Amino acid sequence: MTNETENRIPLEDLLFFHQLTRSLTSSFDLDTILRTILEHMERTIEAELWTLLMLDESTQELTYAIAAGGEQEALRGLRVKVGEGVAGWVAQHGQTLIVPESVEDARLLAERPGSSTRPRSVIAMPLLGRKGTYGVIEIFNPRADRMNDYAIAFLHILADHAAIAIENARDVTRIQQLTITDDCTGLFNARHLYDVLGRELARSVRLDLPVSLAFFDLDFFKLVNDAHGHLVGSDLLAHIGRRLQQLSPAGHLCFRYGGDEFVVLMPETSSTEAGRHCTRLLAALMETRFPMRNGLELKVSASVGVATAPHDGITVHGIIGAADARMYVVKTTGRGRVLTP
């Protein structure tokens, strides 16, 4: 009969799991969680290379999110298709794959970790959550004497905790995104504008850099609702929001301020540069034909006011107020153009 004490989990391992749980639940930042997972993987089993790949559901590819063993730079940017190699097989099947050195496996032979580590053996485990596979943990060339049932069970528990932590972090991010996003257009909302603009103005003062803001007000938008109904009006606003994003370069942020009003925030942009950009943007927006329901196509015009810090002030309400005032001047003197400081 087996001695009862032989089946007990060592106190050291219980403390390890306690620390793991505390570490993974103490943050909802995904990068912090991934680093925590990797640190505990290294402590769990000795190996030449540890990697953690995350699944991009839109492309069905795995990307190397983090690695240990001096290979982070070598793996950066590499992608593995679901179904290919070790990680791809594990992601596709949602099962653990263990290949010891004594076994030749085509999946291991096809593995190209993009590093100096030659894969001879591997332990690969899926990160499985309630909503599917989030990623894959790979441990290359682990010490043979550590590839026992106890160590594998240890890693499975780590992977389960890791998946829960990743899922929670993503849920929190999704909730946060909902609080700063406009439902109709998918753009950032006015609440987020105040936060971001406040930070940009503080940065502007600190680094002596300009920051510009453009206030767009659609011309005669009420006529669209009156003629075609509010569903078409809402659909048109969504189209306009997407078009503004398409026309705005990287670094510029688009917001729906409310109703038929939009804002484009342009960090490190002078009033002259902002005027040129908004003039081109407005011309492209006015030339766009937006396909609507039942084959209907609509075009829009807008009145635009631009304000720039520090010329127009260094406060959130000062900059928005200056841009709004210039927009109103355009609105009352002809519409369909841009007015700058």
The per-residue pLDDT for range 275-297, each reduced to its tens digit, is 999 999 999 999 999 998 778 99
Lowest mean pLDDT among 156-165, 192-201, 252-261: 156-165
Identify the band that residue 24 occupies on the pLDDT scale cut at 50, 70 and 90: low
Which amino acid belongs to residue 72? Answer: Q
Residue 99 has pLDDT above 60, yes or no: yes
Average pLDDT over residues 240-262: 95
Identify the band that residue 198 occupies on the pLDDT scale cut at 50, 70 and 90: very high
Average pLDDT over residues 138-154: 78
pLDDT of residue 1: 42
Max mean pLDDT among 32-46, 101-115, 136-150, 212-226 falls in 212-226
The residue among 277, 283, 279, 324 whose CA lies nearest residue 305 is: 324
Handedness of CA 246, 251, 252, 255 (dihedral sign): positive
Domains and CATH numbers, the chain: 4-179 (3.30.450.40), 190-339 (3.30.70.270)
pLDDT of residue 4: 46
Average pLDDT over residues 43-48: 78
243 vs 300: CA distance, rounded Å = 12
Identify the band that residue 112 occupies on the pLDDT scale cut at 50, 70 and 90: low
Average pLDDT over residues 75-98: 88
pLDDT of residue 256: 96
Three-point CA angle 62, 66, 72, nearest 5°: 110
Helix (H) or strand (E) holding 301: none
Average pLDDT over residues 164-188: 81
Q: Please check whether residue 84 is in contact with residue 93, taking contact to mean a CB–CB distance below 8 angstroms.
A: no
E strand spans, the chain: 49-56, 61-68, 79-81, 97-99, 122-129, 132-140, 211-218, 253-258, 261-267, 290-291, 297-298, 302-309, 338-339
Residue 183 has pLDDT above 90, yes or no: no
With a pLDDT cut of 70, the percent of the chain lying above it is: 85
Structural tokens at position 259: 């109703």
Lowest mean pLDDT among 118-127, 298-307, 310-319, 332-341: 118-127
196 vs 191: CA distance, rounded Å = 9
Max mean pLDDT among 14-18, 27-31, 63-67, 191-195 falls in 191-195
pLDDT of residue 263: 97
Residue 38 has pLDDT above 80, yes or no: no
Tell me what the pLDDT averaged over the chain comes to. 85
pLDDT digits (tens, 9 = 90+) for 200-234: 999 999 999 999 999 999 999 999 999 999 899 99
pLDDT of residue 2: 45
Structural tokens at position 55: 């699944």
